[in-house]
Amino acid sequence: MSNSILTARSVVYPWHCDHMGHMNVMWYVGKFDEATWHLFGLLGLTPTFFRENDRGMAAVHQEITYKRELYAGNIISISSAILEVKEKVIRFTHEMYNEETKELAAVTILTAVYLDTRVRKSCPLPADIRERAQAMVDDGKSY
């Protein structure tokens, strides 16, 4: 990803691993979710903004590709990029790396919809946030 931004660093703990000894899929999703909130924060979509404006984001689609297994003790990083911005939608990706080996462990692509939390309906992204997101769009087509 040419326009990627470091959005998370973490470690795999033993309790993240399943009976086969590697990180369970539920933890990949959780760690990607942490990166999502950092990415949204960079756009101005912070918890304070959401609370003060009765707004939120809803994930409506997610795809994950697992490339390499991760084990207890592995240190990881997640880099993120915006792929597409529409009036009410942001599509973005995260790449999770094993920091020691520099190997790509997993990739996810998500589609999120901006919504009015009072009426539970989608609504247009504020112009400044849409502009900020558009400026971050990665057109490297590596996904």
**Confidence class for position 140, pLDDT limits 50, 70, 90:** low
Look up residue 63 and give its two tokens.
């795809």
Phi first, then psi, for residue 108 (nearest 5°) are: -130, 145
Decide which of 40 and 2 is more confident.
40
Boundaries of every domain in the chain: 5-135
Check pLDDT > 80 for residue 1.
no
pLDDT tens-digit map of 36-78: 999 999 999 999 999 999 999 999 999 999 999 999 999 999 9
Query: Which regions of the chain does DSSP assign to beta strands (E)?
Result: 5-11, 55-66, 75-85, 89-98, 103-116, 121-122
113: left (phi over 0), alpha (psi -120 to 50) or beta: beta
Check pLDDT > 60 for residue 134.
yes
* C-alpha distances out from residue 120 to 58, 99, 112, 123, 133, Å: 10, 39, 14, 9, 23
Check pLDDT > 90 for residue 112.
yes
Q: What is the rounded CA–CA span in Å between residue 59 and residue 10? A: 22
Decide if domain 5-135 falls under CATH 3.40.50.800. no
